[in-house]
Amino acid sequence: MATRPFTEFPADEQQQALEACRHVGLAAEMFDITDDSNGSGTRRVSVRRVGTDKTSVYDAGPGSVWMEEFESDLECGLFGQVTA
């Protein structure tokens, strides 16, 4: 299984994650975002808030909605209090 840092994600995913963080008043730098792929198209994105270690893992295969799930988790405070 290969682990990839956020900086190697597709540009559109990076942009969406940055915007989601900004929307709730958090900086993307507050998060450690990586993904693991097993080569068969299965991909899991792991998001950990630095400092609190609150973590969530999202399925991110074809047709997945991991970004929407991440945004929802941000908005409901799963990763900690939001400012927006």
> In the chain, what are the domain boundaries?
2-75
For residue 72, report the phi and psi dihedrals to the nearest 5 degrees: -60, -45
Which one is predicted more confidently, 26 or 83?
A: 26
Q: For residue 22, how far is the Cα from the chain centroid?
A: 13
pLDDT of 1 reads 61
pLDDT of 61 reads 73
Q: Nearest Cα to 74, choosing from 84, 63, 65, 62?
A: 84
Q: What Cα–Cα distance (Å) separates residue 79 from each residue in 50, 51, 52, 59?
A: 10, 10, 8, 18
The tens digit of pLDDT for each residue in 1-52 reads: 678 999 999 899 899 999 999 999 999 899 999 999 876 667 899 999 998 8
- Whole-prediction pTM: 0.87
pLDDT of 33 reads 96
H-helix or E-strand containing 14? Answer: helix 11-23
